[in-house]
Structure 1
Amino acid sequence: MSERPKTADDVKAIVEERNIRFVRLWFTDILGHLKSFSINAAELDDAFEGGMGFDGSSITGFNAIEESDMIAMPDPSTFAILPWRPEEQGVGRMFCDILTPEREPYEGDPRYVLRRTLERARQMGFDHFYVGPELEYFYFKNAKPDNGKPEILDEGGYFDLTTLDAGTDVRRETVLALERLGIHVEYSHHEVGPSQHEVDMRYADALEMADNTMTYRITVKEIAMKYGWHATFMPKPLFGVNGSGMHTHQSLFQGDKNAFFDPNDQYFLSDTAKRFIAGQLRHAREISSIFAQWVNSYKRLVPGYEAPVYCAWSRRNRSALIRVPLYHPGKEQATRAEIRCPDPACNPYLTFAVLLAAGLEGIEKGYELPEPMEKNLYHLSPDERKRLGIEQLPETLGEAIELTAESELVLRTLGEHIFNRYVEIKRQEWEEYRVQVTQWELDRYLPVL
């Protein structure tokens, strides 16, 4: 689509012109799973006027059954036609804001959490929070292999472009589908791991990018399924090779001016940027369960596999949590901070919200940024890291969620409803995992104990 619609009338005109028969209304639960129900295109007037009612009691993290009536209010600016559905009597989609029957924003809606945090940034004088996430993922032969181990499609490595990269055509079709959905793609390539890939979207405002991230994930999966493959954003599906990350580039703008840029600073970073980065470093441990929300996330966040675990920043050093890229030194528009710890299976609405909240906290309270760490942090001993005051991210989801449970920042950002539900769900996930008897334990202990 060359230009996105802006109003309900724009959407209705496209639906009529393109003979769209169904429109799917999309939203997410608090874990970031995409939810959807379909309406007949003839119901669009009603949808735009009053929203569409649904039962929220079965949606993870939404209200209990006695107070379950919800309204999905479509956002016309998010309308797009799904390229993997038939063109004849096609299918469109729109993201929705979730409302209560009283027409108030629903406090359990992750999109509302991000909207609320962006409003706080605007009140502090920042018109835009731009984010550019780089989501990595794997292609496997199927979702449930016979022997339990994922079957890779190639032995390719970083930037390989030979027969080693089995996913070239599938990536190409994925990029074309994303562009038809109105998402600008900058790069696509084979990643470091076998059968691992990356497609990078051009940066956008955080709310638009959270919508784009949800669209990206389902598009990757739908196109892979068309070829009989399974695409996964699981953070660490293969032992012994790199996991999948979601390195996220961030900047704050005041109008057209990059609030992170200072031409007179040795790092080209303004005081705003330094305090923003300092805020994310200081609060990284307590927001870890949001940007790395699964038990499996912490199998990726270990030293030695390009995933950062130490709370420090640098310019060139990719072992640090936050990097200030030097692709275009001194160029205002390109000045940004890249946080490297999130993974692509997170809820992007909540992740962008807590990342922004942590950065704003640093700006508001004037946190001081420590000196950059240009050494490989993996090579420092624990005593050296302790002497330098470098903290480490939580090693397990269990540790991470308890830090979150004590976080005033996360409570304030998510709101009491999502905060309490989220902590409860994640404690339960950790407890279920903790009591499992794994194949590793059986192989190691059963023969000798």
Structure 2
Amino acid sequence: MALRIAALILKNELTPNVTQQLRQMRTSSVARSQFLKHSPNTALDKSILQRYRNLETPPNRVQATYLWIDGTGENIRLKDRVLDKVPSSIEDLPDWQYDGSSTYQAHGENSDTTLKPRAIYRDPFKPGQKDIIVMCDTYNADGKATPSNKRADFQAAVQKIADEEPWFGIEQEYTLLDVNGRPFGWPNNGFPAPQGPYYCAVGADRVYARDLVEAHAIACLYAGIDFAGTNAEVMPAQWEYQVGPSNGLKASDDLWVSRYILQRIAEEYGVVVTFDPKPMEGQWNGAGAHTNFSTKAMRAEGGIKVIENAIEKLSKKHERHIKAYDPKEGKDNERRLVGRLETSSIDKFSWGVANRAVSVRIPRGVATAGKGYFEDRRPSSNCDPYAVCNALVRTCILNE
């Protein structure tokens, strides 16, 4: 396969299908793990950087780290620029360009792609200074949103329903890997004991890399993310954290920035983060991004009826949501949503109270109170939260 693709590159005869295969090769976990065996990151003396972080910088100069989502719909890219003043709002930040042909978003002959700043965060990697992280979305040369820019359409939907006050809370699950591609802490030539003792656990034989997880929580709070909590998950080396509940776009912005922060911290620990929804085959839980959703009417007295009405709408749009809930339009979730290991079947919509084997769950407390929110358990851990939240809004509120 690799030789065939290389030949096509030389002949300039890449078809869309082969381009997709090339992208998968470039981003595959196998290729990354082979490279990481030789990664020099962990050999660097991290204390040296601290000498320079303590230097005083000019008061009118600010480092801004611009983040964006590349053409895979899964990966974060970034580059830094120095600004001449501390921005007081997002409007003070300039647009910027980058080479979209190197991020699967443009052709080389017309590669300039535009970054538009959308949200500002404090930078936890430059503490005590004025420096910021800037979450952006991306636009082609003609001014249209790139195909991987799901934020633009979600923003358009949110502007139509401001009075509904949509809230989102997202539970991000992820798995930590060592440089050989095995779950972190797992035996090199075998498997740990079956699932059971690891969820919300304590102990060196049950929990791995808690220091990394706690560093991530602190950094997210410093950045200004609506960070709600964290816990060890059912599979060893698997963790979860939560963002929200937040109104409108913020939960999705927060999730992307929190993913970036997590991966940056993992760089320093020499650990790999994967958002693959099924990193280990067999009787091991997959990883999701369960999304909790409510409107003002759902949170009001008698809101359970509004919740049940929204679930009825979702039941009629199951295929649409499955396509929106992972970057490969359901192909990743096929490996995870198998009707067992706390998942529903990808082929059939279901719902219930306090049931974790359904598509949509109403928590027990919500059913008792008669108001609140519901949890959509279908989104994969590598989902684009803009696409997930947009689908919920357009189905449940806009009746599309």
> Normalised by the size of structure 2, how large is the TM-score?
0.72
| Aligned counterparts of 1:88 and 1:274: Cα–Cα separation in 2 | 48
Query: What does residue 123 of structure 2 align with?
Result: 82
| Aligned counterparts of 2:317 and 2:301: Cα–Cα separation in 1 | 28
The amino acid of 1:327's aligned partner reads G
| Aligned counterparts of 1:276 and 1:17: Cα–Cα separation in 2 | 53
- 2:392 matched to 1:359? no
Runs of 4 or more above 6 Å deviation: 15-20, 43-47
- 2:287 matched to 1:269? no
Alpha-carbon contact 1:187-1:200 (below 8 Å) kept:
yes
Alpha-carbon contact 1:19-1:89 (below 8 Å) kept:
no
Q: 1:208-259 deviations in whole A, cap 9, x for unaligned?
A: 111111112122222223222112111111122000111110011xxxxx21
* Compared CA separation, residues 44 and 59, structure 1 to 2 (3 A): farther
Secondary structure in 2 matching 1:311: coil
Query: What does residue 368 of structure 1 align with?
Result: none
Secondary structure in 2 matching 1:223: helix
Query: What does residue 385 of structure 2 align with?
Result: 348
- What value does the CA root-mean-square deviation take over the aligned residues? 3.1
Alpha-carbon contact 1:48-1:74 (below 8 Å) kept:
no
| Aligned counterparts of 2:222 and 2:335: Cα–Cα separation in 1 | 35
The amino acid of 2:145's aligned partner reads Y
Query: What does 1:165-176 align with in structure 2 at a 5 Å threshold?
Result: 165-176=207-218
The amino acid of 2:100's aligned partner reads G
Q: Alpha-carbon deviation of 1:57? A: 4.2
| Aligned counterparts of 1:357 and 1:346: Cα–Cα separation in 2 | 17
| Aligned counterparts of 1:151 and 1:70: Cα–Cα separation in 2 | 37
* Compared CA separation, residues 238 and 90, structure 1 to 2 (3 A): farther
Which runs of no fewer than 5 residues in structure 1 stay unpaired? Answer: 1-14, 253-257, 365-408, 410-449
| Aligned counterparts of 1:224 and 1:171: Cα–Cα separation in 2 | 9
- 2:95 matched to 1:51? yes
Q: 1:59-102 deviations in whole A, cap 9, x for unaligned?
A: 43x45556554432323xx322322x344877521112445667
Query: What does residue 353 of structure 2 align with?
Result: 315
- 2:134 matched to 1:94? yes
Secondary structure in 1 matching 2:292: strand
- 2:158 matched to 1:118? yes
Identity of aligned residues (%): 20
Alpha-carbon contact 1:71-1:100 (below 8 Å) kept:
yes
| Aligned counterparts of 1:198 and 1:36: Cα–Cα separation in 2 | 24
| Aligned counterparts of 2:96 and 2:281: Cα–Cα separation in 1 | 45
Query: What does 1:165-204 align with in structure 2 at a 5 Å threshold?
Result: 165-204=207-246
Query: What does residue 34 of structure 1 align with?
Result: 76
Secondary structure in 2 matching 1:192: coil
| Aligned counterparts of 2:307 and 2:365: Cα–Cα separation in 1 | 17
* Compared CA separation, residues 335 and 17, structure 1 to 2 (3 A): farther
Alpha-carbon contact 2:62-2:85 (below 8 Å) kept:
no
Alpha-carbon contact 1:263-1:330 (below 8 Å) kept:
no
Which runs of no fewer than 5 residues in structure 2 stay unpaired? Answer: 1-55, 187-191
Query: What does residue 159 of structure 1 align with?
Result: 200
Query: What does residue 362 of structure 2 align with?
Result: 324
The amino acid of 2:355's aligned partner reads N
* Compared CA separation, residues 280 and 17, structure 1 to 2 (3 A): farther
Q: Alpha-carbon deviation of 1:301? A: 1.0
| Aligned counterparts of 1:19 and 1:81: Cα–Cα separation in 2 | 16
Q: 1:242 aligns with which of 265, 269, 285?
A: 285
* Compared CA separation, residues 329 and 355, structure 1 to 2 (3 A): closer
* Compared CA separation, residues 18 and 318, structure 1 to 2 (3 A): farther
The amino acid of 1:48's aligned partner reads D
Alpha-carbon contact 2:60-2:85 (below 8 Å) kept:
no
* Compared CA separation, residues 19 and 235, structure 1 to 2 (3 A): farther
Q: Alpha-carbon deviation of 1:300? A: 0.9
Secondary structure in 1 matching 2:307: helix
Alpha-carbon contact 1:193-1:242 (below 8 Å) kept:
yes
Q: 1:371-418 deviations in whole A, cap 9, x for unaligned?
A: xxxxxxxxxxxxxxxxxxxxxxxxxxxxxxxxxxxxxx6xxxxxxxxx
| Aligned counterparts of 1:359 and 1:300: Cα–Cα separation in 2 | 25
| Aligned counterparts of 2:93 and 2:245: Cα–Cα separation in 1 | 32
| Aligned counterparts of 1:329 and 1:304: Cα–Cα separation in 2 | 24
Alpha-carbon contact 2:353-2:367 (below 8 Å) kept:
no
Q: Alpha-carbon deviation of 1:29? A: 3.3
Q: 1:181-207 deviations in whole A, cap 9, x for unaligned?
A: 112333211111111111122311241
Aligned residues: 327
Alpha-carbon contact 2:100-2:111 (below 8 Å) kept:
yes
Secondary structure in 2 matching 1:139: strand
Alpha-carbon contact 1:157-1:192 (below 8 Å) kept:
yes
- 2:305 matched to 1:305? no
Query: What does 1:127-146 align with in structure 2 at a 5 Å threshold?
Result: 128-142=165-179, 144-145=180-181
| Aligned counterparts of 2:185 and 2:315: Cα–Cα separation in 1 | 36
Query: What does 1:212-291 align with in structure 2 at a 5 Å threshold?
Result: 212-240=254-282, 241-252=284-295, 258-261=296-299, 263-264=301-302, 268-270=303-305, 272-291=306-325
Alpha-carbon contact 2:344-2:350 (below 8 Å) kept:
no
* Compared CA separation, residues 251 and 16, structure 1 to 2 (3 A): farther
